[in-house]
Structure formats: structure tokens, C-alpha cells
Amino acid sequence: MALKKWSHEQIIGAFCSPLYLSLFFLVSVLIVFNFAIRKPKSKSKTNQLPFPPKLPIIGNLHQLGTLPHRSLRDLSLKYGNMMLLQLGQKPTPTLVVTSADVAMEIMKKYDKVFSNRPQHIAQKILLYGCNDVGFALYGKNWKQKRKLCVGELLNMKSVQSSYPIREEEVEELVNKLREASLNDACVNLSEMLISTINNFVCICALGRKYEETSDGNLKVLARKVMMYLATFVVGDYFPSLSWIDVLSGKIGEMKDTFQAFDRFFDQVIEERLALKKMEDNQIKKKGFVDILLQLQDDGMLGFEFSNNDIKALLMDMFIGATDTTSTTLDWTISELMRHPTVMKKIQEEVRRVVGNKSKVEENDINQMHYLKCVVKESLRLHPATPLMAPRETMSSVNLNGYDIPEKTMVYVNSWAIQRDPKNWDNPEEFMPERFEHSIVDFIGQDFQFIPFGFGRRGCPGMNFGVTTVQHVLATLLYWFNWKLPNETNLGKQDIDMNEVFGLVVSKKEPLHLKPIAFLA
């Protein structure tokens, strides 16, 4: 019987299949376990941080688990609120912080030292060589762009001016829910929230909706970017094995997604420049792209600002605003469904403040104190980015009595800090009342509550995101009562609250509910 001759492509495909790679990893781990794991003897040092036992080659990677924010919290309970991990073959260890006091010391004394970002492969590919604001290296170029974002795009004036756009998109969502209510239908509220927020961000950033691009659905492309930015890339932890990412096709897929987005942004820029040359009324809604193109054209920025710079900032808008906002709404409504007493209280406030008006107005939300407490409590229990983006030290520093070397990657576990019993009573319970008479806020000064980070690397879109969450939430609670699809009992056990870790931590199962139109 003749043997089948395999082509070069078939051989590579076989060796790069998920099954083969999984077996390769399993065999490697079994080989490692054949070696005796001995704790190295060393002289006691008072400034040496705790270091959980690690395996040869992979270090502590195996201890991250599928939900790293939870795994790292559990490790910190044993090894302390400052600990070091060895992640693969990185030349310096990784520092994990799970203490509000340590976060405060970083902010008060060493914020600049801790303001750099590690440069990972996916970020370099997808974010124009980390030429954006979220993942760029700390320096003059980053400071200029952050100032531009805060001063021109994400200031309170911009937040207020986006209200009519947000109102229009929310009204469209309400109409869809009304139709479902008339048909006694169940809706995938999670997916509807993603679409609404995606459309809103798209109009704010680009001036109009873009459902489709020449390379496919825009929402799908944006999801791919989010997925790749959070995926495990071998070369980030084992530089000598970076060829695996190329051979497996992962790098090629990232580059294809980047090129698709890049072509789309080029199309948008070309379109907006063409509209600009016509009568002013051709641009009905100015997006961030129009503002950036105008600033570029005026030449008043004082630094070089290319189209790639504009595209990098636009990519930040999609990454930083879409999934974080929709996920926060998803978690908040899920918690309200699990706590009917809280749901009743917040709906009574919303309906009392709005009265018999046909819509929730911006000034109404300013009077909804309990609604703001509910949003705060949701952000405390479910921060969208529980580990935040990693930082990197720009020089060696002595933090809380410990020596931290230069180029140490740093994770601040806000999820663990915000559930720390040292900082909160009954920290695992959803209790919005804890904020009713508290001055604790999320602006980055109360370090037991840092869902948006703190210091120079704090989220510049905080006001934009929170305002959107409050407006959408108030509107949904004003117009509708909500029921689970198959049960009137709103018990905690009826909603799956399991998590999926990524760039944003979202619910594993989407939220399906029945909207019941409310007649005042």
C-alpha cells in the first residue's frame, strides 16, 4: 500500500493544529514535573518580595488560570498584597498589587515611575506600533496625545454635546424593546446593548454609523481586535519561541484584522475630507475624526500629527468605549434582576424624577442619587478591566520597603482591592446603599475604589463612559419592567453570573429578559 505524500502546507497545518499544540504543551509540562522542584537557598533579605513557587521554564504562568484576577487574588491571600511572579522567560519578574495602600503609595510618590507600558506583540500590530494613548510608552509624544484627547475629545463639553446622539440611539433601542413587549417576546439584552453602544461610539468617533466595511461587519472587526489584544501570545513570554505564533497563523490573523481596520479608517478619512470641501451643512454630525482632521489641517498642535496618529486614537475610542460601557450595563442590570428590592427602589426614583415626560432628560439624571449609587456598586463588584492595563517601571524604585527593578511589569488588581474586607463591609454583597452617605468616588483619589485606574494612566474617557451608562440605564428602567424569560421569581440562582476573561471581563452567558412596557 502506497504511503500518502503530504504537502509542505499539510505538514505545517498538522503541527500547528490545536490538538498537536495542546499535546506538545502537556508533554512539556509532564517532562518539567519529572524534575525535582527545589526551593533555592538564599540569604534572607528584608527587601525581597514574596515569590510563589514556580516551575522551570514557564515560571508562574500556570497559576494565572482562566480568570487571572481571581487567581491572583487567591495567591495574594497566601503571599501578600505585593508579590512577584515569573511569567515565562521575561527577564524581569511581574509585580502584582492587591492593596489600596500600595496603590496610593504608587500614585502619591512614584506615579511617573510606574507610568510606562510594556510593549506586547498584539498591541504593536493592532495599534499602529502602540502609537495610541492607551498603550503607548510614557513620554512627550504620549503626553501630547493624551492632552489632545482630554482637551478636545473627552472633555465635559464633548460629553454634553453627545447627548442628542445618545438620545437618538437609546430611542431606537426603546422602540425595538417596545415591539418585543407587544409580542411578549424575550430579547438578548446583552447583544442589543452592544449594538446600541457600538452605534453611539461610531457616530461620536466617525460622524455617522458604519454597519459594514469593505472587509465585513464593523462590530465583528472590533470584536476581533478586542479578542486579539487579550489573547495569549507565546512570543510575549517566550521570545525564543515567537515563531510558534507565526506558524500557528495567529500573527497573520492579527495583521489581516489590522489591515481591514486600517483600510476602513482610510475610507472614513477620505469621506470626511470630501464632505469638508463641500458646504458646511454636508457634515451633519461632527465626529472626533473631523475634529482631529481640522486640528491637523490648522497645524496648531505644535507637534507632528499624521493620519496614522489619528487612526490610532480612533482605534482607542472603539477599544476603550464600546465593550467597557455595554459590559458595565450588562452587569448592572443583571445585579438589579437578582435584587428585586434594589430594582424597585431605583425604578421608583427614576419614575419620580422623570415624571410624565416623554424622555429622560440630562438634568433628570443629576437628580437620581440612588441610580448613581447603583452604578458605583456595579463598578465596584464588576470593574470592566479588573487587572487594568499593565504598567512598567521606568527605573528601579523602593516601594513600601521593597526594591522593585527597572522594567518590572506591574498589575494592579482593582477587582481584588474593591472586594477587600479591609476596605468594605460585606464586600461580596451588592449593596448600593453603602454609597448613599459616602464621599468615596471613582475619580482616582479613593484607592479602595479604582475601576478607571488612577494617576497619569487613569482612563481619560471616564466621564464619557459613566454618563452613557447612567443615561441608558435610567431610560431602560423608566420605560420597562423586566422579567426573566421562564420564571417570575427573581431569585439570585436564576441568572448566570459567571465571567469570561478578556481585555474586558464580560458575562459568560448573555442576559435574556422579557421587557414589559410600563404605563405611568
pLDDT in tens, 94-141: 999 999 999 999 999 999 999 999 999 999 999 999 999 999 999 999
In this predicted structure, what is the pLDDT of residue 282?
61
The torsion angles phi and psi of 379, rounded to 5 degrees, stand at -65, -30
pLDDT of residue 234: 96
Lowest-pLDDT choice from 36-40, 402-406, 440-444: 36-40
Average pLDDT estimate for 451-474 = 95
| Sign of the CA dihedral running 204, 209, 213, 219 | positive
Q: Are the beta carbons of 201 and 316 closer than 8 angstroms?
A: no
What pLDDT sits at residue 487? 63
- Residues 6 or more apart in contact with residue 396 via CB below 8 angstroms: 403, 404, 405, 406
Tell me: the pLDDT tens digits for 201-250? 999 999 998 887 888 888 888 889 999 998 999 999 999 999 999 999 99
Helix (H) or strand (E) holding 163: helix 163-182
Q: For residue 16, what pLDDT band results from cuts at 50, 70 and 90?
A: very low
Q: How many helices (H) and strands (E) does the chain have?
A: 20, 13
Give the CA distances from residue 108 to residues 113, 118, 278, 296, 460, in Å, rounded to whole numbers and listed in that order. 11, 22, 51, 35, 19
- 6-19 b/e with 16+ CB inside 10 Å = b? eeeeeeeeeeeeee
Closest to 230 measured CA to CA, from 90, 63, 97, 387: 387
Residue 320 binned pLDDT confidence (cut-offs 50, 70, 90): confident
Confidence band (pLDDT; 50, 70, 90) for 35? very low
Query: How high is the mean pLDDT of the chain?
Result: 88
Q: What is the 3-state secondary structure (H, E, C) of 288-301?
A: HHHHHHHHHHHCCC
Domains in the chain with CATH codes? 53-517 (1.10.630.10)
Q: For the CA atoms of the chain, what is the radius of gyration?
A: 25
Res 13 pLDDT > 60: no
Amino acid in the structure at residue 6:
W
Q: 348: which residues sit within 8 A by CB, 6+ positions away?
A: none
CA-wise closest residue to 331 among 388, 377, 389, 366: 377
Average pLDDT over residues 279-299: 81
Question: Is the confidence at residue 280, as pLDDT, over 90?
Answer: no
pLDDT digits 0-9 by tens, 463-474: 999 999 999 999
Q: Is 515 exposed, middle or buried (0-12, 13-18, 19+ CB in 10 A)?
A: buried
The pTM of this model reads 0.89
**Model confidence band, residue 460 (pLDDT cutoffs 50, 70, 90):** very high
**Residue pLDDT, tens place only, 421-448:** 999 999 999 999 999 999 999 998 999 9
Which carries the bigger pLDDT value, residue 376 or residue 356?
Answer: 376
Nearest by Cα to 130 from 140, 139, 117: 117
